[in-house]
Amino acid sequence: MNKVVIIGGGFAGLAAAETLRRSRGVEVVLVDRRTTFDFLPMLPDVIGERAGPDLLTYRLDELARRLGFSFVHDTVLAADLAERRVKTAGGALDYDYLLIASGSETDFHGQTEIERNACKLDSVSDARRILGLLDEDAHDTFVVAGGGYTGIEAAANIWAHARAHGARKRILVSEIGPGPVRALPGAIRKYVSANLERMGIELRSKTSVVRAGGGEVELSSGETFDRALLVWAAGVHTSEFVRAIPVERNRQGRVQVDRYLRIDERCFAAGNAALFMRGAAPLRMSVQFSLSGGHRAARNIIRATRGRELVPFDPFDPGYVIPMANNRSCGIVLGVLLKGRLPTLLHYLLCIFRSRGIVRRLQMIGDLKRLF
């Protein structure tokens, strides 16, 4: 019996667990410091009251019982690849094969004061916290640090909440680069900028947050805002134990894998924790690649246990959508540039498809009908 330990109960980890548990001769143990799987693509929708938070969270112990693998609720401290052992706060787990699928988390870049005073958006509980603060109506200004996918979606949903409650709030996006979603094509960047302006969301390019606390947020431009809430979405990195593994990695801590998603002969990585190179560029972080990577890593582990040749990871890229809460979304789907309601609809349909349970899907469809 080969023991496979999976670190992380997100999209990649659960995809791998579902694939592995169908194989005879494999014992699957999934370990996570959280007790739930949270449906990350719709976290911003909780802020805008466009999705109920209870629809976006699933207990990992219940998923384990239903799908047929073991779940260990514990925090991973280190992965010893030489000894084939995962060290946790509660002990240790030996393995025959290891899959690192621990995802990524908000990176505050060592700014401890900002970390203490800012909100992040890594989980359903984080989204609930921001929603609760919005409902308290104790802030006049909302500063979102980071003009990437998460920052843009968070700002748009804060706008949606204020609009639904008839509140007049000042919303700013602070981006250290020259503009929002700067890694995307020019047409997307222009559309996002124009749509932010349409919603009255102010964009501060080439600007960073330098201080937060006591209800104040200060920007590198010298602007200071009172009665302000800071939402931090200015980058992510991998878990500390991943960044400590002595292998090649990028600045986010994503570990270099080969074309089979291996770090070594007995250790694989998938999802946001893995740095998979497609040509000269790393594969971007996305749910699609987390799911396909989790399945491929699991299938390669099964093949390895049977002494069979491994299959290279060759992910299909359907594209991406930046959903914005006024339903003026944009993205590139199957190579086609889309703008407006259609990409919004495609985003939510894909979320419904990827969610778990018929009841949740029906409730999401009800929310979708309300939005349109």
CATH number for 198: 3.50.50.60
Do 141 and 278 share a domain, yes or no? no
**224 assigned to some structural domain:** yes
Is residue 355 scored above 80 in pLDDT? yes
Place of tokens 């899907």: 361
**167 assigned to some structural domain:** yes
**186 assigned to some structural domain:** yes
Return the pLDDT at 364: 82
Do 162 and 208 share a domain, yes or no? yes
Q: Choose the final residue of a domain: 291, 317, 343.
A: 317
203 strand-pairing partners:
173
Mind listing the pLDDT tens digit for each residue in 221-255?
Answer: 999 999 999 999 999 999 999 999 999 999 999 99
Return the pLDDT at 367: 72
**Chain CA centroid to CA 329, Å:** 19
Please state whether the predicted TM-score (pTM) of the whole model is above 0.85.
yes
Do 217 and 173 share a domain, yes or no? yes
Mind listing the pLDDT tens digit for each residue in 9-55?
Answer: 999 999 999 999 988 889 999 999 999 999 999 999 999 999 999 99
Pairing relationship of beta strands 2-7 and 26-32 according to DSSP bridges:
parallel
Residue 314, CB-side half-sphere exposure with 13 Å CA sphere: 3
Do 125 and 206 share a domain, yes or no? yes
Is residue 321 scored above 90 in pLDDT? yes
Is residue 189 scored above 90 in pLDDT? yes
Characterize 36-65 residue by residue with b for buried, 16 or more Cβ atoms within 10 angstroms of its Cβ, and e for exposed.
bbbbbbbbbbbbbbbbebebbbbebeebbe
What residue numbers bound the domain in which 367 lies? 112-236+327-371
pLDDT > 70: percent of the chain:
99
What pLDDT band is residue 366 in, cutting at 50, 70 and 90? confident
Separation CA 238–CA 29 (nearest Å): 21
Do 175 and 215 share a domain, yes or no? yes
Do 121 and 230 share a domain, yes or no? yes
Measured CA to CA in angstroms, residue 2 lies from 5, 96, 126, 253 at distances of 10, 6, 37, 29
**229 assigned to some structural domain:** yes
Do 22 and 147 share a domain, yes or no? no
Do 211 and 243 share a domain, yes or no? no
> When comparing pLDDT for 70 and 24, which is higher?
70
Classify residue 226 by burial, with Cβ atoms within 10 Å: 0-12, 13-18, 19+: exposed
Separation CA 92–CA 76 (nearest Å): 9
Return the pLDDT at 360: 83
Return the pLDDT at 341: 94
Average pLDDT, the chain: 95
Do 258 and 286 share a domain, yes or no? yes
Q: Nearest-5° angle of CA 98, CA 100, CA 102?
A: 145
Cβ 33 vs Cβ 128: under 8 Å: no
**57 assigned to some structural domain:** no
Separation CA 370–CA 372 (nearest Å): 5
How many other C-beta atoms lie within 10 A of the C-beta of residue 92? 13
What pLDDT band is residue 372 in, cutting at 50, 70 and 90? low
Return the pLDDT at 357: 80
Separation CA 238–CA 291 (nearest Å): 18
CB under 8 Å to 165, separation ≥6 — which residues?
137
Do 304 and 336 share a domain, yes or no? no
**Least confident among 44-48, 123-127, 366-370:** 366-370
Separation CA 200–CA 347 (nearest Å): 24
Do 14 and 136 share a domain, yes or no? no
